[in-house]
Amino acid sequence: MLKYILKRLGLSLLILIGVSLILYILVRMMPVSFVQDKINMINQGGAQVPQEVIDAMYKMYGLDDSSFFGILKGYGSWLWALLQGDLGTSWKYGGPVLDEIVSHMGTSFIIAFISMIFEYLIAIPLGVTAATHQYSIRDYVVTILVMIGISLPSFFFGRFLQSTLAMNLRWFPPAGLEDVSKGYTGIMVTLDQLWHVMLPIFVMTILSIGGTMRYMRTNMLEVLNADYIRTARAKGLPESKVIYKHAFRNTMIPIVTMLAGVLPSLFSGAMITEQVFDLPGIGNIALSAMQAGDIPFIMGYNMFLALLSVIGVLLSDLMYAVVDPRVKLY
Can you give the pTM of this predicted structure?
A: 0.79
Q: Is 14 exposed, middle or buried (0-12, 13-18, 19+ CB in 10 A)?
A: exposed
Distance CA 94, CA 103 (A): 14
**Alpha-carbon torsion angle 180, 186, 188, 192, nearest 10:** 50
Q: How confident is the model at residue 325 (pLDDT cuts 50, 70, 90)?
A: low
Average pLDDT over residues 47-61: 71
pLDDT band at 1 (very low <50, low <70, confident <90, very high): low
Tell me the pLDDT band of 321, cut-offs 50, 70 and 90. low
pLDDT of residue 22: 87
Sorted by where each starts, the structural domains of the chain and their CATH numbers stand as 104-287 (1.10.3720.10)
Torsion region of 329: left, alpha or beta (phi above 0 gives left; psi -120 to 50 gives alpha): beta
Q: Quick one: pLDDT band at residue 62, thresholds 50, 70, 90?
A: low
Residue 29 contacts by C-beta under 8 Å, 6 or more apart in sequence? none
Query: What is the average pLDDT score of the chain?
Result: 80
The mean pLDDT value for 68-97 works out to 82
pLDDT confidence tier of residue 234, bands split at 50, 70 and 90: confident
